[in-house]
Amino acid sequence: MLVALAGGTGAAKLLRGLARVTDPARLLIIGNTGDDLDWWGLHVSPDLDSVAYALAGRLDPARGWGLEGDTFHCRDAVADLGGETWFSLGDRDLATHVRRTELLRGGATLSAATRVLTAALGVAARLCPMSDDPVRTRLRTSAGWLGFQEYFVREKAEAEVYEIVYEGAAAARPAPGILPALAEAEAVIVCCSNPLTSIGPILAVPGIRAGLERTGAPVVAVSPIVGGAPVSGPAGKFLAARGLPVSALSIADLYAPWLDVLVIDRRDTGLGPDLERRGVRPVLAETLMTDGAAEVALAGAALAAVDLEP
């Protein structure tokens, strides 16, 4: 079994590549739920959905979120009625949240609800929320305390970020199956997601970090930083908020106690000695996933980096 730690859009692309180079049934994906939100009374799990939609072959390629070809009639009508629409949901995407919320209200855990949704979407990989308990990433910013989506979507990631907390994490338990999977994995792959707001919430769930430290499996991460800048999103601001430079070296610093291999971008030459000093073996690869072939190539490189056959 291959265990992956995943955020949203970037992870979704790498996982789509992994599901093509290897049997997707071999994948157990631990998804970030720190970005989850209650929106229009519905439980929305943006990162779980991006991963599920990507693996179902239905992620919108232009937006990087939501379903391809979706319409926005409901959102537009809510706007006409004076409602809040800064968080945008397509009409078909909305159905995912309706169904999830229906299952949760019926007493299902988020894990169980996710299994129902991924099965209906035809996803062969197993997608697990990091926890069935609520954990919410909150940011202290120049615009006050904000939930992740408030910061990222409503405020367009423009505010300065001073502090990142994972509310609820201390009391959260890893979702069922996660710790056994880490213990029995052939390899663990940390996707090229934001280390502080995508992977950080997962690591904040008590037991998961220890599971990574204890596992006998090799742990490989793919760096989301290319040439001193994040591939996408506000990772730079979050690293700065922790006093870390925007460099693949910071990824190694954050993951060092349990990381074996870091796949860094082929443009980031010269980091090798610094990574090795941190106990992390560097592997160079093309990390920009500009098309399906690039996703497959990077997924293959991540597996090869830990000597795994696809």
- Nearer of residues 36 and 93 to a copy of itself, judged by Cβ: 93
Taking each helix axis from N to C terminus, what angle separates 292-305 and 9-21, rounded to the nearest 10 degrees?
Answer: 80
DSSP output for 149-171: HIIIIISTT-S-EEEEEEETGGG
Q: Which residue, 1 or 104, has its beta carbon nearer to a copy of itself?
A: 104
- Percent helix, strand, coil in the chain, to 5, is 40, 20, 40
What is the Cα–Cα distance from 117 to 96, expressed in whole angstroms? 7
Cβ nearer to a copy of itself, comparing 118 with 194? 118
CB 130 to a copy of itself: min, Å: 22
Distance CA 5, CA 14 (A): 11
Ranges assigned E (strand) in the chain: 2-6, 27-31, 37-39, 42-44, 126-129, 136-141, 144-147, 161-167, 187-190, 219-222, 225-226, 229-230, 261-265, 281-285
Q: Which residues bind a copy of itself (CB under 8 A)?
A: 40-42, 70-71, 73-78, 80-84, 91-96, 98-99, 101-102, 105, 116-117, 120-121
CB of 86 to a copy of itself, least distance (A): 13
CB of 170 to a copy of itself, least distance (A): 28
Instruction: Find the shortest distance in angstroms from Cβ 44 to a copy of itself.
Output: 12
Q: How far is the CB of 76 from a copy of itself (least distance, A)?
A: 8
Measured from the CB atom, the residue of 83 and 245 that comes closer to a copy of itself is 83
Considering beta carbons, is residue 46 or 236 the nearer one to a copy of itself? 46
